[in-house]
Structure 1
Amino acid sequence: MALKVKVFDEEHEEDLEHKMNRFFEKVDEHDIVEVKFQVGVSCDQEDDQIFCFSAMIIYRA
């Protein structure tokens, strides 16, 4: 089995949860090697906060 990665990037944490949970339904839990999570925050020119919720899943396929 080879290692692969799946990357998710969403503006809302609930969207990230939904997409990751759908992916987990398709992969055997024993094939999951690691999950990494990160949040990025910045402001646009009007000082509105912009969030970026991202995750990377390393798995065997």
Structure 2
Amino acid sequence: MIQVKVFDHEHEKDLEKDMNLFLKKIDETKLVDIKYNVAAIQEEEDEQIYCFSAMVIYRK
């Protein structure tokens, strides 16, 4: 059965930490793919908000 796990953080280091913790729990041979995305949103005057997200696709 194919499963997905989605991660979403404002800081890339938080995303990296959570993904590494999750990836330790699954068998490397079960990993299918990882999709990564970064979005930047301009808010108010000069403030920019980032969204770092990733989806791990794996077999259960």
* Normalised-by-shorter TM-score class: over 0.9
Deviations 1:18-59 (A, max 9, x none): 000000110001000000000000111132010000000000
Residue number in structure 2 paired with 1:43: 42
Q: Quick one: distance in 1 between partners of 2:54 and 2:18?
A: 10
Relative to the length of structure 1, the TM-score reads: 0.95
Higher strand share: 2
Shift >6 Å, 4+ stretches: none
Gaps of 5+ in 2: none
- Partner letter of residue 19 of structure 1? D
Question: What is the number of equivalent residue pairs in this alignment?
Answer: 60
Relative to the length of structure 2, the TM-score reads: 0.96
Q: Quick one: distance in 2 between partners of 1:13 and 1:30?
A: 25
